Homo-oligomer: A and B are copies of this chain.
Amino acid sequence: MTTVPTAPTLLPVLDAASCCEPIARAPLAADQADQLARLLKAIADPARLRLLSLVATQDDGEVCTCDATDVLGLAQPTVSHHFKVLVDAGLLTREKRGVWAYYALVPGALDALAGLLTTTTATTTGPR
């Protein structure tokens, strides 16, 4: 099997991060490079990195827009925009409770993305 050892419900993210094989495995085709680049562009921004880091370090694992606005020092629409980019990329989930919107990490999404960059055979063995 290629991957997806246990993917019961979190498919969209893993799907996004499983766009292609690890970089060092085989030369990337044009379309694979496009997909991976789109994922990386989603996180290649200071504000979005701080948002990811903020969510990842929360005890309860979630952050609302209002909190993030204070921490980042950006206008509310800007924060909403960045959150949307991360959700669209499949890295965060959005849950609206009452008036507030809570964002949380999609489990395994960042790690899967990191796995595509590692040159050392990390997980799944690769018998060529």
Contacts and interface: CB of A to CB of B under 8 A. Distances in A.
A120 interface: yes
Max chain B C-beta neighbours (<10 A), residue from A26, A28, A71: A28
Interface string A24-66: 1111101001101100110111110110111011000000000
A50 B71 contact: no
Main secondary structure of the interface of A (DSSP, over half): helix
A12 interface: no
A49 B36 contact: yes
Contacts of A110: 23-24, 117-119
B23 A53 contact: yes
A107 to B, nearest CB: 9
